[in-house]
Structure 1
């Protein structure tokens, strides 16, 4: 009797699990209608480049190839740039298989969006539609920083086009779909979820990428990332990989960013972004304690470009930017995203923590220059070095006027030697310039020694260091 009851309970449980599984299966999205609706607006993009044809055998300077082993014959056939009479052969258009990618039609009049790296360096761009028609496209404009390119094709009738959604409305965990031509397999469909938003990548920190686990491979570049309403919410651009293929980490340019780029490319053929002229770094637990912050959040201003918007707007080195134009800055990577969306010349409100007090500043945002890198070089000091500090174990010297100008630092001291002690443990090097210690600006080697002797124990102490033109804050603790 007992065994019969157990069997009946197991059967009921199995039936319940079956119904639950069926319910879950019914809740999974069906992408068929979405794919049928959007696919006609997705295009395949290829390019051609002008190349120089190999010289013919027997030309001047060309060795006799008869009887030569194949490996050497191939070397000579491809290695000699001159043809008969010492003239180069005519340039010929040849397709470049490395430039195969995807794109999609933005509007019925033939505007097409794709990645810049798909068409970069091309002499001709070809767009193939879903009905197999192929058209030559005109490049309207490209923006390498966001990796976007706007093309234009001409057709006799209205072209199928996509609908654009709001990428800012997407949340991690939502279903998304990609359509493209990975490895040349046209109109391949892959699905996944949004893994994260606002990602900064080492190659570009002005684009808040959407991270997904949608399978993206070479050839998907420039294709659309779609929500369940069939709206484009991103443009597939990059993957993280150690193998060269998909590993579960793909990145898309948000549609909100892309549409701003498209509007500017249509109008001027180029893109302008907001710029503050600061170098910022992440706030960790020790820096937060040193600057009087309740938690590690914000962007620490480590360096300010002279004459830039931040300099003229009153920002100071050591300020921690907590808000920009009403947007909370939790990580330093949030700041370029927020600043880049502001049009150059517009006013912006900035909330900073300075001297452990919140302050609000109003400043005018500038235009991001083509090359916003900071470069400076240190040279040997002509001043006599100080003795090694008993507490930090570092030998320092005064900066010469020439060094101040070269490294664009108003004050500070240069590290001449690092001995055993706290300085060595935090990675200080000879040639580093120390401009502040324990939130006090360093004016001389003598002052540096006095501040060092008075440093507190068992709490985080910050030090601002300029190395090869780039400033950053480091923290350390001194034991009793």
Structure 2
């Protein structure tokens, strides 16, 4: 038995005096959960034919990014000359049907030539990749068995609440069938590289090898798939992220039926509405998704949405943060119509939009023909040359020359508030109207002195200043 949060709070209010010691709350017993659920959890290993030179990102490797790194596998030296498949990665998964369908992360099996599944009775069998979805990091496997296999019970991730107990079962660092526990920390988290998944954030200890394993509620039901961690060391640091099982099963049904996942698409580039933007647009508080680009001929363009519109509701669901909009749009079937509520020039308006189908990843990154862009530089931004498309969408006069900011990565530009969609016309008193001039100018910028930059934002020009250090 353990005291629930509700009764605990009530007892404090009624019985605890200011000088009394804080009572200890018992941790729930996970023994029964583990006994009942663990037989349906599997260990997954993969093999790949050696390439001329290969390396797999692993925990703690210097080449891994500092945050939200994918965690699986071990570093490989130069591939041997032998054609024998070599170990590539380790992970977890769980059986979702007694005839052998298994759910795991795409990054656990991506690029594998052979997938080996180890069951709870320690038997091993080869698995077939039914299909995968890179955007949501999901993969469905199939194994053959002469007997019905144990399966997990699926829960309702929409009923998850911050503060509730959860547990993970998997193979961290290949220590098979390890269970760890914690609580749900937050819901509907949007991560930088995964804008189509409303992640469940937990403080459950998750490490390399847990990837693809189940996240259980106290009823022993799967409510998520452990997928990512926040780490600077390669190991657990208190922030873990799981794909909600409701979202996963929506993708699984498509993968099982056609081998891939289709998503809805609005055809806009968006950004977060911060306090300054909210004030400038006449909002009482920061909320919504600010459109900074509309793809020509896309669904939003056909619905007459414009750059500068702030989407506040989609299909009657509030959009509090910009990251939640792609999630809402993505689960709408292409061809279906959706309602969009937005603010334009301080007025609240509504429209109907016929949702399109999300293009492939290359088309998604901008949704426009290729144009010359700069690489990342000392300012931490990428820019592109203005063309008729950009001029139209940004409502710029033909006589304006400059470069449009397509990406703000880090560093000085982010610190001084440069935003995607800004048009840079001058840097350090030099007119920049081509990528070549821009790159040359940025390389020659002085250090430890004030530098001016002229920026046009939403049709309004202005100067901002910054300093570069050694």
After TM superposition, the score normalised by the length of structure 1 is: 0.70
Describe the shift of the 1:406–1:289 C-alpha distance in structure 2 as closer, same or farther (beyond 3 A): closer
Query: Map of 1:403-418 to 2, 5 A cutoff?
Result: 403-405=386-388, 407=390, 409=392, 411-413=395-397, 414=400
Shift of 1:292: 1.9
Report whether the alignment pairs 1:304 with 2:294.
yes
Shift of 1:272: 0.7
Query: Map of 1:157-236 to 2, 5 A cutoff?
Result: 157-236=147-226
Q: Which residue matches 2:351?
A: 361
Shift of 1:93: 2.4
Describe the shift of the 1:136–1:296 C-alpha distance in structure 2 as closer, same or farther (beyond 3 A): same
Report whether the alignment pairs 1:464 with 2:469.
no
SS at match of 1:29: coil
Describe the shift of the 1:404–1:43 C-alpha distance in structure 2 as closer, same or farther (beyond 3 A): same
Shift of 1:376: 4.0
Equivalent of 2:270 in 280, 288, 291: 280
Deviation above 6 Å: which 4+ runs of structure 1? 16-19, 78-81, 473-477
2: CA distance between counterparts of 1:155 and 1:428?
Answer: 55
Q: Which has the larger radius of gyration?
A: 1
SS at match of 2:300: helix
Once the two structures are superposed, residues 293-349 of structure 1 have per-residue CA deviations (whole angstroms, 9 ceiling, x without a partner) of 222111111110001110012211111101000110111111111111111111100
After TM superposition, the score normalised by the length of structure 2 is: 0.72
SS at match of 2:49: strand
Describe the shift of the 1:288–1:219 C-alpha distance in structure 2 as closer, same or farther (beyond 3 A): same
Report whether the alignment pairs 1:245 with 2:231.
no
Q: Which residue matches 1:267?
A: 257
Q: Which residue matches 1:31?
A: 30
Q: Which residue matches 1:346?
A: 336
Query: Map of 1:390-429 to 2, 5 A cutoff?
Result: 403-405=386-388, 407=390, 409=392, 411-413=395-397, 414=400
Describe the shift of the 1:143–1:52 C-alpha distance in structure 2 as closer, same or farther (beyond 3 A): closer
SS at match of 2:169: strand
Once the two structures are superposed, residues 344-396 of structure 1 have per-residue CA deviations (whole angstroms, 9 ceiling, x without a partner) of 111100001112111110011111111211254489xxxxxxxxxxxxxxxxx
Q: Which residue matches 1:458?
A: none
Once the two structures are superposed, residues 127-159 of structure 1 have per-residue CA deviations (whole angstroms, 9 ceiling, x without a partner) of 100001111101000111111100001111110
Query: Map of 1:139-150 to 2, 5 A cutoff?
Result: 139-150=129-140
Richer in helix (by share): 1
Structure 2 unaligned runs (5+)?
Answer: 1-15, 54-76, 375-384, 404-414, 426-454, 465-470
SS at match of 1:91: coil
Across the two proteins, how many residue pairs are aligned to each other?
366
Once the two structures are superposed, residues 377-423 of structure 1 have per-residue CA deviations (whole angstroms, 9 ceiling, x without a partner) of 489xxxxxxxxxxxxxxxxxxxxxx9433646364154569xxxxxx
Equivalent of 2:365 in 359, 362, 373: 373
Deviating more after overlay: 43-52 vs 256-265: 43-52
1: CA distance between counterparts of 2:79 and 2:36?
Answer: 52
Contact 2:386 2:401 (8 Å CA) reproduced: no
Q: Which residue matches 2:107?
A: 117
Q: Which residue matches 1:135?
A: 125
Shift of 1:79: 7.9
Report whether the alignment pairs 1:316 with 2:315.
no
Describe the shift of the 1:412–1:378 C-alpha distance in structure 2 as closer, same or farther (beyond 3 A): farther
2: CA distance between counterparts of 1:322 and 1:330?
Answer: 7
Q: Which residue matches 1:254?
A: 244
Shift of 1:94: 2.8
Q: Which residue matches 1:94?
A: 86
Q: Which residue matches 2:423?
A: 432
1: CA distance between counterparts of 2:95 and 2:416?
Answer: 56
Shift of 1:289: 2.0
